[in-house]
Copies of this chain bind each other. A is one copy, B any other.
């Protein structure tokens, strides 16, 4: 049995193809009588509209691409969950694209080999430079997420990373910590994320009147929990002394907690720790993790708003919006008593 098409339904219902199309899409100016008859035919034939045909005719696919390095990273998976839901509310489906955090992967996305597949792209770059992103042939509506470089021509949403890192750092200072380490940036060249968070950390130290001690910057061979844990172990074994750690992200913080516990250090008594992203696990580990919570719902909503505006034809300069964050205090770096 061949697939039923619009024409088949039209034949059965005794109307034109276009009328069936109108019924399917809920066009309002269809008489009740014909609507019923057509609907009957649709049900009888179990008609399912063909997505490709529709998008070819309308020029829209109803799909958005969400691009980042790796969904298995908790922050991204939680972001994907949220954006998928919000997009779904607006009638869009979500195509997932992973770049593996490689330059080639990100380039591939930006130079989008196929057109017409998605109506828009939400992209959180890890490595790509502002310049390269700007070169992006402006065919597909595009929104950037995150702290990375922000070319003028492209819409961009973020939180104030510098302020957030400073907030975490000065909170630790207010807890009386004097040797506050930073954990989890790359060993070699820094991602934009690490850069801005390090700047904020430095600002926080300044505000608290603490000196910047470069030996307190604990880099990690790669940005993940395992390597971060290893980096902390090595730092401790080399005799580095600190009483607090500002972590680049929650994964680094989980690694830090693990390493500290292995070495018999108590959190927060001996070392206080803050994370970043406030992923679900942050509240579940023991001790629970204080963390910077970006207002992801607002970020996602703005991103979708901007994308829809571009899809609807807006073609002006890039908009940049900054969402709120909050330092959520839990056991690993509690409120000042």
Residues of A near any B CB (own CB < 8 A): 3, 46, 48-53, 55-56, 61, 63, 66, 70-72, 74, 76-78, 80-82, 84-85, 88, 93-98, 100, 112-117, 137, 139, 225-226, 229, 254-255, 257-258, 261-262, 280-281, 283-286
Residue numbers in B under 8 Å from A82 (CB-CB): 72
Question: Can you list the 9 inter-chain pairs with the closest CB atoms, starting with the nearest?
Answer: A77-B77, A72-B81, A51-B117, A48-B115, A50-B116, A52-B55, A52-B56, A261-B286, A72-B78
Is the Cβ of A84 less than 8 Å from the Cβ of B96? yes
Contact of A137 among B46, B71, B98, B229 (CB under 8 A): B46
Is the Cβ of B258 less than 8 Å from the Cβ of A3? no
Residue numbers in B under 8 Å from A49 (CB-CB): 113-115
Which residue of chain B has its CB nearest to the CB of A281?
B281
Is the Cβ of B95 less than 8 Å from the Cβ of A96? yes
Residue numbers in B under 8 Å from A100 (CB-CB): 85
Is the Cβ of A280 less than 8 Å from the Cβ of B50? no
**With A225-B284, A226-B284, A281-B281 given, can you name 17 additional A-B contacts, CB distance below 8 Å?**
A50-B56, A50-B114, A51-B117, A71-B84, A72-B81, A72-B82, A80-B96, A84-B96, A84-B98, A85-B98, A93-B117, A95-B96, A229-B284, A257-B286, A261-B286, A262-B286, A285-B285
Shortest distance between the CB of A48 and any CB in chain B (Å): 4
- A143 vs B144: C-alpha distance when bound (angstroms): 34
Residue numbers in B under 8 Å from A48 (CB-CB): 112-115, 139
Is the Cβ of B255 less than 8 Å from the Cβ of A72? no
Shortest distance between the CB of A232 and any CB in chain B (Å): 12
- A302 vs B112: C-alpha distance when bound (angstroms): 29
